[in-house]
Amino acid sequence: MRIAVVSEHASPLAARGGADAGGQHVHVAELATALSGLGHEVEVFTRRDAGDLPERVRTPEGYDVVHVPAGPAAPVPRTEALPHVGDFTRFLVDRWKEQRPDVVHSHFWTSGLAAVLAAHEVGLPVVHTSHALSAVERRHPGALADAAERPGAERLVGRRADRVIATCTDEVFELMRFGVPRSSISIVPWGVDTDLFAPVGPSAQRGESHRLVAVGELAPHRGFDTIVHALRALPDTELVIVGGSREGGLDSHPEVARLLRGATALGVARRVRFTGPMERDELPALLRSADAVVCTPSYEPSGVVALEAMACAVPVVASDVGGLTDVVVHGVTGLHVPPRDPEALVRAVRVVQTDRARHEGFGLAGCDRVQACYTWDRVAADVLRVYARAGVPVPTPEPVQDQVPDSAHDGVVSAG
């Protein structure tokens, strides 16, 4: 089967660069790899953001990346991508008229807009994954100022796509609020590279203090200030925050400055450390060194950091929001807390720090859950089932790899 993946602003090639790649880059790269490994032909269409990029790149993982000439051959913030969607769409139409894919799978709203417009002209089925919805983002502090057209475009894409993938249960209800039929929505979560994120492996050095690790974009909605506030009641505990980009450094980052002001006022600044961006292959060692990985955002569509921690057999303390509600099983793989509630966070962290049996039990159960439900082979199999529900005749080819794990089975949860 020929699969056209549209990821306008997030190239999977950036995921191999590591530190500066956001979640969508990694998601698209891993899913394309898994689908290719099952014997399918995968092309990822992404905007050309540098003048020296070839039109097509064959990746070692077996899929192709096509650099679409739409807008300047330079980085463009995702909030400024809309003016280039027309050129992107025309490229897709011309390409797909020459060589038709069997299905189009778009990621994020600008990609979805180009995909549904091009696919309508050529007559192709479209599956869309939102990754984030403007209606959710705008409810929370620090949201990006996005294009005014985004909410309307998201509604258009959701209604025109043959099938919409939600990454968590909460997203189903958000999609339904702006008119996506319940029967058109399936839940397929994010996956984890369980070769990279695993319980066995090196652990980063640490002192005798307890260690909490938090990972994510340096933005107010990530709730790092809630963890900083909790440190006041958690003596002998350090917080390591991973995030940021290579450009500009941490010294000039406004969120770092805000968090440090708060930490200084609380008297805990010496116990807060910022690593800046970290290569993906370095992250598992840091996660394994933690007593707990703490995820306290006010919204979170995927829960990917929690999944990576669970894959390393590390307990998770997480806000009971979005994808974290699905990923973390309260009292089994970790603990849920209300968002922006430092006192509840303190109580949960103390359980992990003081009760060794529960600490180890959370870690083992989390690792088992990831292996059963969140490997990329499992996610790819679930995505193929969504393609079939969109009317695509999905063959069952011989996998390129030696075998498909026995754990792969139909785990797509239909909201219909």
Structure confidence by residue, pLDDT tens digits, 309-340: 999 999 999 999 999 999 999 999 999 999 99
Query: Same structural domain for residues 364 and 384?
Result: no
Query: Same structural domain for residues 262 and 403?
Result: no
Counting the structural domains of the chain, the total is: 2
Query: Same structural domain for residues 331 and 218?
Result: yes
Highest mean pLDDT among 7-21, 43-57, 168-182: 43-57
- Which residues span the domain enclosing 184? 2-191+375-414
Work out the pLDDT band at 257, boundaries 50, 70, 90. very high
Q: Specify the higher pLDDT residue, 174 or 117.
A: 117
Work out the pLDDT band at 254, boundaries 50, 70, 90. very high
Q: 204 lies in a domain?
A: no
Whether 399 has a pLDDT exceeding 80, the answer reads no
Query: Same structural domain for residues 243 and 310?
Result: yes
Q: 202 lies in a domain?
A: no
Q: 197 lies in a domain?
A: no
Per residue in 207-226, pLDDT (tens digit) is 999 999 999 989 898 999 99
Tell me which of 61-65, 88-92, 142-146 is least confident.
142-146
Q: What is the rounded average pLDDT of the residues 363-370?
A: 98
Work out the pLDDT band at 161, boundaries 50, 70, 90. very high
Query: Same structural domain for residues 184 and 286?
Result: no
pLDDT of residue 103: 98
Query: Same structural domain for residues 327 and 349?
Result: yes
Query: Same structural domain for residues 33 and 91?
Result: yes
Query: Same structural domain for residues 324 and 406?
Result: no
Integer Cα distance of 407 and 373 in angstroms: 8
Per residue in 261-270, pLDDT (tens digit) is 999 999 999 9
Integer Cα distance of 359 and 206 in angstroms: 18
Query: Same structural domain for residues 88 and 130?
Result: yes
Query: Same structural domain for residues 53 and 186?
Result: yes
Query: Same structural domain for residues 323 and 385?
Result: no
Query: Same structural domain for residues 69 and 12?
Result: yes
CATH number at residue 217: 3.40.50.2000
Write the CB contacts of 152 (distance below 8 Å, at least 6 apart in sequence).
Answer: none
Integer Cα distance of 402 and 394 in angstroms: 20
Rounded to a whole number of angstroms, the distance between the first and last alpha carbons of the chain is 26
- Based on C-alpha coordinates, what's the Rg of the chain? 21
Q: 43 lies in a domain?
A: yes
Whether 142 has a pLDDT exceeding 90, the answer reads no
Averaged pLDDT score across all residues of the chain: 90
Other C-beta atoms within 10 Å of 403: how many? 7
Distances (CA, A) of 145 to 138, 141, 315: 9, 11, 34
pTM, full prediction: 0.90
Q: 238 lies in a domain?
A: yes
Per residue in 81-125, pLDDT (tens digit) is 999 999 999 999 999 999 999 999 999 999 999 999 999 999 999
